[in-house]
Structure 1
Amino acid sequence: MENQSTVKSTASSYGLTLGVVLTVFLILLYAFSLEMLTKWWIRLFEFAAVLIIAIMAMAKSKKKCDSLFTYKNSFTAYFLVVLIGLLIYHIVSYVLFNFIDPEAAQYVLEKAMEMSRSMMESFGAPQDQIDKAIEEMGKQNQFSLKNQAIGFAFSLAFYSVIGLLIALIFREKETTH
C-alpha cells in the first residue's frame, strides 16, 4: 500500500508539471501567434510533452518503489500525470477563451475554417460539401465547456490506451523459481 501512495504522490507532482508545461505553451502561443493553435505540428509537441513527462513519472515511481512495481502501479503513475496535466490545460483553455479573451476564440475558429476550406479544396471536395462543412464549423464553439469536456474525455481515453501499452514496459514481473 505504501508503494501506491508513493506512486500517487510522484505522479501528482509530474501531473502538475505537465499542466504547467502545457499551460505555458498555450499562453506563449496565445501571446505570439494565435494562428499557430490551428497547426497540426503543435499537436505533436503537446503529444510529445505528455508522453515524455508521463514516462518520466513512471520511471521515477518505479525507482522509488521498494517492492515489485506492478502493472497497476505503472499505469496509475502514467494515468495520474495525464489526468492532472490535461485537466489543468483544458481548464486554462476554457477560462482563457471564454472569459479573458473571447475574441481570440473567434479568431482561432476563423483561421481553422480557412485552413479546413483550403485543405478540402486541395483534396478536390465538391464546393457544396465544403460550404456545408464550413457552415457546421462556424456553429461550433470549440472552447465551450461542453466541447472542452468532450475534448478532455477523448484525450484522456486516447492517452490511456497508449498508457496501457507503456505500462507493460515499465511493470516488473514476479519471478518464480
Structure 2
Amino acid sequence: MEEQQTPFKAAVQPGLTIGLVSLAITYIAYFIDSTLLASGWFGLVAIVLFFVLIIYFGRQYRAELGGFMSFGTAFNFSFIAIIISGIISIVGQILLFHVIDPSLPDVLADASVQNTLEIMESFGANPDNMSTEQLDEMREATRNNFTLGGQIKNFGFGLVVYAIIALILGAILKKRDKSLDY
C-alpha cells in the first residue's frame, strides 16, 4: 500500500510552482511596463490565477488521498502552499526592488498615488482639495511599503490574510466521504 503524503509534504511542490509562476508574472509585467505592478487589474488577475492554481493543486492532492479530504487537511495544504509561495514572491520582489531596479519603488509609489487620485475622482471627490503635504504623505507611505522593512512587515500582516484565504480554500477543497455516514 502506498503511503499518503502529509499536507505539508504535498504542499511544497505546489507552493514552489505557484510562487515561481507569481514571480514570473511579476517580472513579465515589470519588463512590459513597470507601472502595471501598481495597477488594480494586475492585482486582480494575479489573485484569480493564484486561486485557480491552489484549487487545481488541491484537487490533485484530494485525488491522491482517494477523492476525499477533511477541512483540516485542505486548510493545512492550502496554508502551507500559500506560505511557500509568499516566501518565494517576497524574495523575488526584494531582488526586484533593491537589486534589479532600486528606482522602481518611486515609480510605483507615484503610479499608486495617481491611481488613488483617479479613483477618488471617479467617486466624485475632488483630488485638487488635497494639500501638497497630504499627497507627499500618501506617496511616502506607499513608498515605505517597498522598503525591505515594509515588505517584511507586509508579509507578516499577509500571514493573517493567507490564513483567511486558506480557510476559504479549505472549505472549497474539502470533500467528505458520505458512505461513512450511518
User: With structure 1 as the length reference, what TM-score do the two structures score?
Assistant: 0.85
1:153 match? 156
Segments of 5+ residues of structure 1 without an aligned counterpart are none
Distance 1:130 1:121 in 2: 15
Equivalent residues of 1:10, 1:57 under 8 A apart: no
Aligned-residue offset at 1:83: 0.8
1:42 match? 42
2:174 match? 171
Equivalent residues of 2:117, 2:127 under 8 A apart: no
Equivalent residues of 1:6, 1:64 under 8 A apart: no
Alignment pair present for 1:139 and 2:160 = no
CA separation of 1:42/1:67 partners in 2, compared to 1, >3 Å: closer, same or farther?
closer
Which moved further from structure 2: 94-103 or 123-132? 123-132
2:31 match? 31
Aligned-residue offset at 1:61: 1.2
Which moved further from structure 2: 20-29 or 95-104? 95-104
Segments of 5+ residues of structure 2 without an aligned counterpart are none
The residue matched to 1:102 in structure 2 has which SS? coil
Which moved further from structure 2: 74-83 or 122-131? 122-131
Which moved further from structure 2: 10-19 or 125-134? 125-134
Aligned-residue offset at 1:25: 0.7
User: With structure 2 as the length reference, what TM-score do the two structures score?
Assistant: 0.83
2:93 match? 93
2:65 match? 65
Aligned-residue offset at 1:57: 2.0
Aligned-residue offset at 1:113: 2.1
Q: How many aligned positions are there?
A: 175
Aligned-residue offset at 1:114: 2.3
Distance 2:83 2:67 in 1: 25
The residue matched to 2:146 in structure 1 has which SS? coil
1:16-66 Cα shifts (integer Å, max 9, x gaps)? 111111111111111110111111010111101211111112111111125
Aligned-residue offset at 1:168: 2.4
Runs (4+) of structure 1 exceeding 4 A deviation are none
CA separation of 1:168/1:139 partners in 2, compared to 1, >3 Å: closer, same or farther?
closer
Which moved further from structure 2: 118-127 or 37-46? 118-127
Equivalent residues of 1:117, 1:134 under 8 A apart: no
